[in-house]
Amino acid sequence: MQTVSVNLGPRSYSIQIIAHETLGWLTFLKSALGHTRKLFFVSDTHTTTLMQKLRDLSLGAYECNHAIIPAGESSKSMAQFSFLLDELAEFGADRQTGVVAVGGGVIGDLAGFAAAAYNRGLPFIQVPTTLLAMVDSSVGGKVGINHPKGKNLIGAFHQPKAVWIDIGSLVTLPEREYLSGLAEVVKYGVIQDPQFFEFLEQNTAKILKRDAAILRQIVARCCRLKADVVEKDEREETGLRMILNYGHTFAHAFETVSGYGHWLHGEAVAAGMVYASRLAEKKDLIPASITERQIKLLSEFRLPVKAESGWKIPDLIEVMKRDKKAQAGRLRFILPVKLGEVRALDDVTEQQVAEVLAP
């Protein structure tokens, strides 16, 4: 077992990284949840088997119930949020009820938001099963749902009590989901750690083969890098945490305009990073070689590096103006100034965005 600590004072928690090991599950739960009496598990239709296994291991120590959500980005909705609140109420959930999210980022965000809202906050455990959720969405406390006008427009900050990462889950993860997660992995190299970016470049073959030792290194390093940012800016009050949104202003626009689920989140982030890097080139912040290195690595991971031709540029820009980083409709982007460092800039014009998006 490998542990990464997220140090947030009274909201501190640990990320446990294991491989094909469930013997420590009950000990992990009791350490994280204290006097909790009940557990409410949430999974989607792809992770039901694992959820039921963890639930069975918990019986005896806890009274357990569960809900199963349809798989896919469309489930990050008000309808499914309302469904979970109804199920929690039916279960008789109270402040001594823990919510356990077993699945990818959609389940973590949705179940976490339900945990944040019900009784003004229930203890919450993340069990991410996709690479993207392991390295990104399960860490940091952002939870929420989508709105037809934009991705993640409704949500809260609600830190988990602990995160349980079994990299053995990646063995059976569908190829497209696995590759999607690699986009967020690449992101950390660009925004914080150029040596990590080089490590990815040097190990693409092993990464694509899902080498267990390499994956353990990658997951642990990404969790540590994200924790470093979250510890300094938990609720996006200083601006530092915005660096984690590199590529996401473009990505969220792609996801919104195309319809949630057309592209996986990581696929949208991959293309979004390329456009953000092109924008940095246009503003003379970086040489073209930094963009080309990203394109090469993302392409080796078989991720998209450009938008689809049918998406209208004015529609994309309109969504970007509603992005959470925007201020009074003024566009703001996270742009690289060198490999391993990015900054937030709000002097980007709509014309510049249109130019980099143009075919």
Specify the 3-state DSSP secondary structure of 155.
strand
Cα distance between residue 40 and residue 38, in whole Å = 7
- Pick the catalytic residue from 38, 265, 325, 332: 265
Structure tokens at 91: 């279960």
Considering the candidates 241, 278, 293, 325, report the single residue annotated as catalytic.
241
Q: Which residues contact 255 (CB under 8 A, 6 or more apart)?
A: 73, 151, 262, 263, 265, 268
CA dihedral of 129, 144, 52, 118, whole degrees rounded to 10:
150
Predicted TM-score (pTM) of this structure: 0.93
Predicted pLDDT at 22: 85
241 classed as catalytic? yes
Name the β-bridge partners of 66.
41
SS3 of the chain: helix, strand, coil, percent, to 5: 50, 20, 30
The domains of the chain, with CATH numbers, are: 2-171 (3.40.50.1970), 175-357 (1.20.1090.10)
3-state secondary structure of 148: coil
Across residues 307-336, what is the average pLDDT? 88
- Give pLDDT, residue 263: 95
Long-range contacts formed by 286-291: CB under 8 A, 24+ apart? 286/336, 286/337, 286/338, 290/336, 290/338, 290/339
Whether residue 351 has pLDDT greater than 70? yes
Question: Which residue of the set 184, 234, 267, 281 is catalytic?
Answer: 184
User: What confidence score (pLDDT) does residue 323 get?
Assistant: 81
Contacts of 154 (CB under 8 A, 6+ apart): 78, 113, 144, 145, 146, 147
Determine contact, residues 227/5, Cβ cutoff 8 Å: yes
pLDDT tier at 206, thresholds 50, 70, 90: very high
Q: Averaged over 308-323, what is the pLDDT?
A: 93
In the three-class reduction of DSSP (H, G, I as helix; E, B as strand; rest coil), residue 153 is classed as strand
> For residues 232 and 211, what is the distance between their CA atoms, to the nearest angstrom?
32
Beta bridge partners, 14, equal 5, 162
Active site residue 184: yes
Q: Is 265 a catalytic residue?
A: yes
Please indicate if the annotation marks 313 as binding a ligand. no
Annotated catalytic residue within 46, 55, 142, 332? 142
**151 annotated to bind ligand:** yes
20 tagged catalytic? no
CA distance 306 to 136: 22
Residue 149 binned pLDDT confidence (cut-offs 50, 70, 90): confident
Give per-residue pLDDT as tens, 230-287: 999 999 888 899 999 999 999 999 999 999 889 999 999 999 999 999 999 999 999 9
Q: Which residues contact 186 (CB under 8 A, 6 or more apart)?
A: 197, 200, 270, 273, 294, 297, 298, 301
Residue 242: per-residue pLDDT: 93
Q: Among residues 55, 158, 252, 332, which one is catalytic?
A: 252
* Residue 265 in marked binding region: yes
Examine the residue annotation and report whether 120 is marked as an active-site residue of this protein.
yes
pLDDT at res. 328: 66
Residue 334: strand pairing partners: 344
Find the helix or strand (DSSP H, E) in which 243 lies: none
Q: Is 290 annotated as a binding residue?
A: no
**Cα 56 from Cα 50, distance rounded (Å):** 10
Q: Is the pLDDT of residue 208 over 70?
A: yes
